[in-house]
Amino acid sequence: MQNRSETSFGRVTRRTFLGTSVAGTVSLINPLPSRAGEPCSPRDIKTITTGPKGYCGWPTVTRRTNGELIVVWSGDRGGHVCPFGAVQMMRSNDNGETWTWPRTILDGAIDDRDAGILETSRGTLLVTTFTSLAYEPLLNAELERISEKKNKKKNKTNAEEQELEQDDDEKEKKKVKPWPKKRLKQWMAAHNRLSDEQRQQELGEWMIRSTDGGLTWSERYPTIVNSPHGPIELSDGRLLYAGKELWNGSKRIGVCVSEDDGLSWSWLAEIPTRSGDDPGAYHELHAVEATDGRIIVHIRNHNKVDASATLQSESSDGGQTWSEPKAIGVWGFPSFLTRLRDGRLLMSYGYRRKPYGNLARVSTDCGHSWCEPITISDDGPGGDLGYPSTVELDDGTLLTVWYEGIGNGHHAVLRQARWTLDA
């Protein structure tokens, strides 16, 4: 759940519980990063968010049984880390040619982040998110800077004030710039909506549910775990949610299940930790069921071994037990998994190394091996991008949606590619 961006206000930490990283693609044999793969053919790439300037992040797209596309994301943001995020939604009824105006479907009192979506076989729409206070260290640092500056100015001589101004000049050179007054005012107004205790109570992993095609939505309710793209449906009708417990202190990863169309969730199994790894450095899981019945889960890894790589764990008993995670030769994150109509598995993931963009790989053997990388996009302005998700259209065309930061870290858009796999 996790990346970093540089802004004019200093280093921004997306989430306090994840280390800084960049990603690329590597070979299992050669630890040096390989170049991105050859482009898919053809590619039709465009920006699909049309609302006011702001920051859109961490989307998921799904295709309903009636052919409608729905994309959800964290919008109404002031940047990669801020107190304002809300879950928003758009629809397309022409395979992504046009999209409706964004609609906010969940807006809590603190930051609502990564949004996932699934349509179940019963036609129910399930949207996932989690709440975060990752903005607090940034706000506290700015308040501390202001307080220190005020204290230094008390009873200073002219010479001392000149020295203080020189100190400010040095901070300017180091890119530790004071916040604009408007930004600080907005952050404080959002922060003060709740008390410290109330803000802590708002932390959670959440789901909302719609049984009328997304016209109306339930109140949010807890899901035990979270991951950016949410749960999947298995062939036996169960819903399986591979993710991480974020706020209860354990930070364990594993799978939860629902047998009532997403109304309630129960813990099923923990995914084991690879020998020598810290399980706290596993993040942002996603699952797919292969044609042989095995369930494949991909994990974003930030341990020293295979740092910034995707790990894979597998279950052959419906999610009851899982294999130890292993590297699959892919640097990049997080992975979104889908099964194509011909049975092949497709993983799409962000590529935060020049050329910045998004890649995909295909498995023709139920996840036992993955092909060389395929380029979906390679024109990103920097590493603040990714979280791609992919759906298959009626004609076999693939449609991928991701987010992409633009400018100084306070503006990001949703982009879309329509592409096909070469035979």
Of the candidates 240, 325, 322, which has an alpha carbon nearest to the alpha carbon of residue 281?
Answer: 325
What pLDDT sits at residue 170? 60
User: In whole angstroms, what is the distance from residue 87 CA to residue 110 CA?
Assistant: 12
Question: Which amino acid type is present at position 371?
Answer: C
Q: Return the pLDDT at 38.
A: 61
Per-residue pLDDT of the chain (423 residues; tens, 9 = 90+): 333 333 333 333 343 434 333 333 322 222 333 445 566 766 799 999 987 779 999 999 999 999 999 999 999 999 999 999 999 999 999 999 999 999 999 999 999 999 999 999 999 999 999 999 999 999 999 999 999 888 877 666 666 666 656 665 565 545 678 999 999 999 999 999 999 999 999 999 999 999 999 999 999 999 999 999 999 999 999 999 999 999 988 889 999 999 999 999 999 999 999 999 999 999 999 999 999 999 999 999 999 999 999 999 999 999 999 999 999 999 999 999 999 999 999 999 999 999 999 999 999 999 999 999 999 999 999 999 999 999 999 999 999 999 999 977 789 999 999 999 986
**DSSP 8-class letter at 42:** S
What is the CB neighbour count within 10 angstroms for residue 127? 27
CB atoms within 10 A of CB 43: 15
Dihedral sign for Cα atoms in the order 314, 387, 389, 269:
positive
Q: What's the CA gap between 79 and 421, in Å, rounded?
A: 34
Give residue 24's pLDDT.
31
- From 44, 132, 121, 45, select the one nearest 87 (Cα to Cα): 132
Domain 4-133+203-419 bears CATH identifier 2.120.10.10: yes
Beta-ladder partners of 286: 298
CATH 2.120.10.10 positions along the chain are 4-133+203-419
